[in-house]
Homo-oligomer: A and B are copies of this chain.
């Protein structure tokens, strides 16, 4: 078994041998080739997706244009978002590079928590952390100019700039590719001045 999942969980709590075997038996690890679309708009939401390795991108298609809303990388759960129908995803997810993910579902989660109740606390902790991270990013996005957002990305997630194409990064920053080019030129002038 790929033990990234166990390593991730053990950051929060050490696992017993019995728990490790149980998780292994869930058989939820999947490999994805770069470019694989794993979720489409309108799909019924049933899976909980967690990235062990690689990079997934969540995007909406609006007026024929892809709008990147999130990148999910190592050790991050991916949040599937619904639209008017709370049971169906409102967006797409594809793999920006070859990736390894876990695909769980609610039934598995219930089974796990029933057998090992302390996993409930783990799930709660992870979703609380993710909530704070997400709310912080949102507040930051609202209170910054596109240029500041790019500088923050450069500081906080520099790897993304290498991993994803420029037009996806631009739309993730809420701007047009041309604006991103202008920002980069302006900053490189500043730093060489």
Chain A positions near chain B (C-beta within 8 angstroms): 58, 60, 62, 67, 69-70, 79, 81-82, 91, 117, 120-121, 123-124, 127-128, 130-132, 134-139, 141-143, 172, 174
Taking each of A60, A62, A79, A91, which has the highest tally of chain B beta carbons within 10 Å of its own beta carbon? A79
Residues of B within 8 A of A128 (CB): 127
Nearest CB in chain B to that of A121: its residue: B120
In the complex, the count of this chain's copies comes to 2
Q: Are B127 and A131 in touch, CB under 8 angstroms? A: yes
Q: Are B60 and A132 in touch, CB under 8 angstroms? A: no
Q: Shortest beta-carbon distance, A35 to chain B, in Å?
A: 22
Taken together as a complex, chains A and B put the C-alpha atoms of A136 and B123 apart, in Å, by 20
Partner of A135, one of B117, B134, B141, B172: B134
Q: Are A81 and B124 in touch, CB under 8 angstroms? A: no
Nearest CB in chain B to that of A124: its residue: B124
Q: Are B141 and A60 in touch, CB under 8 angstroms? A: no
Q: Are A142 and B81 in touch, CB under 8 angstroms? A: no
Q: Shortest beta-carbon distance, A180 to chain B, in Å?
A: 14
Nearest CB in chain B to that of A83: its residue: B136
Query: Known interface pairs A120-B121, A124-B123. Does A134 touch B136 (Cβ–Cβ under 8 Å)?
Result: no
Q: Are A67 and B142 in touch, CB under 8 angstroms? A: yes
Query: Known interface pairs A120-B120, A120-B124, A123-B124. Does A79 touch B142 (Cβ–Cβ under 8 Å)?
Result: no
Taken together as a complex, chains A and B put the C-alpha atoms of A182 and B187 apart, in Å, by 32
Apart from the given pairs A62-B143, A138-B138, 19 other A-B contacts in the complex at a CB distance below 8 Å: A58-B139, A60-B139, A67-B142, A69-B139, A70-B135, A70-B139, A79-B135, A81-B135, A82-B132, A82-B136, A117-B117, A120-B121, A120-B124, A127-B131, A131-B134, A141-B141, A141-B142, A142-B174, A143-B174
